Amino acid sequence: MSQGTTFPEEMRCVVLIGIDFDGPSHEVGRGIAPLGKHSWGNYSARCGVPRHMEMLARHDVKATFFIPGYDAERHPQTIEQIDRNGFEVAAHGYLHEAWELGAEEEEALLRKTDRILKEIVNKPVLGWRSPSGRKSDRTMAVLKSMGYIYDSSDKDYDRPYRLRFGKGEDDIIIELPNNTYSLDDFPFYKFSYTPPSEVLDQWKAEFDAIYGADRFFVLSLHRRAGWGSGTPSHTRILSDLIAYMKSHDGVHFMEARGFAKWCQENANNLEEVSFA
C-alpha cells in the first residue's frame, strides 16, 4: 500500500461501484423536455436500474446509487426497490445542477434532495456526489450539518482521505475520490464511442494496476441509454468485470457508506487535506 493509507492485509482491494441514476433530471435541469431524442434519461428507471440490480444481485455484490432528487420524485417506487434490494441510496443533486449556484439556492437544493430521499427510504442519507463537479467548503458544511459522512466528487487522489473544510474540530468529511475518465463509462460511450469489449479491457487493466498498488478501485457508472451502462451489452461487460475482480483474493465490494464508516473508525490511517 502506498504511504498515507493503510488497509489490513485481508482487505487486499476495496471496490466501490457508484451508479449515477441520472434520469430525466439531466434534461429538465437544462430546460429540455425529456422526450424524443432527449428521452435517454427515462431509460434509467425503466430498464437500466432494474437490469443492473438483477446483475449485481446475481453476483451478490454491493453498490451505491447516487440519485438526483427530481428523479426520485418521478420514480419513487424504483428508489424504494433500490433500497429494498439492499443497495445504498445517496444524493446527487436535485436537477443534476450544471449551473453556478448561489449559497442559498445550493443549500435549499441540498436539503430538498435529502428530504425527498429520506422520505422514500425512511433512513438517513450519508453520502453525496456532485452532479457537475462543483463544490466548496460551504457545500461540505451543509452536508455535514445534515449528517453526511462522505463525499465522492473529487478527482485529485488515488485513495480515500480526510477532507478538512473548516477550522472547527469536527469540520471533516471523508472524501472518496472517483476517477471520472478511465474508470467512468461516460467518456468511453459519449465521446469516443468505444466498443464495450475495449472498455472491459481498459477496466481490467486499471483493476490489475490498482490491485497491485493503491488497492482502492472506484467505478462510476450511469444507467442512461446512449452513453450509459444500462443497455444489455454494456451491462454484460460490467458483469464480466465483476466476475474478473471476484476471481482475485481479498477483494471487498462495499457500499460507499460502509467504507466511509470504516475510514472514520480508522481515521489515523488516512491522510488529511484542507480546503485552505
Could you tell me how many helices (H) and strands (E) the chain has, helices first? 11, 10
13-274 CATH: 3.20.20.370
Domain residues of the chain, as ranges?
13-274
Question: Given this model, what pLDDT does residue 180 score?
Answer: 82
Q: Which pLDDT score, from 0 to 100, does residue 144 have?
A: 98
Q: What is the DSSP letter of 184?
A: B
Q: Residue 137's pLDDT is what? A: 94
Q: What is the pTM of this model?
A: 0.96
What is the rounded CA–CA span in Å between residue 117 and residue 158? 29
Where do the H-state alpha helices sit in the chain?
Answer: 25-28, 42-43, 49-59, 69-74, 76-84, 103-121, 137-145, 185-186, 196-211, 232-246, 256-265
Taking phi first (over 0 means left), then psi (-120 to 50 degrees means alpha), and beta for anything else, what does residue 130 get?
beta
* pLDDT tens sequence for the chain (276 residues): 344 566 777 889 999 999 999 999 999 999 999 999 999 999 999 999 999 999 999 999 999 999 999 999 999 999 999 999 999 999 999 999 988 899 999 999 999 999 999 999 999 999 999 998 899 999 999 999 999 999 999 999 999 999 999 999 999 999 999 988 899 999 999 999 999 999 999 999 999 999 999 999 999 999 999 889 999 999 999 999 999 999 999 999 999 999 999 999 999 889 999 986
Q: What local confidence, expressed as pLDDT, does residue 98 receive?
A: 87
Contact 193, 164 (CB under 8 A): no
Q: Are 251 and 12 in contact (CB under 8 A)?
A: yes
Gap between the Cα atoms of 23 and 42, Å rounded: 6
Question: Between β-strands 64-67 and 88-91, what pairing exists: parallel, antiparallel or unpaired?
Answer: parallel
Per-residue pLDDT at 179: 86
Q: How far apart are CA 30 and CA 97, in angstroms?
A: 8
User: HSE of 123 in the Cβ direction (CA atoms, 13 Å)?
Assistant: 14
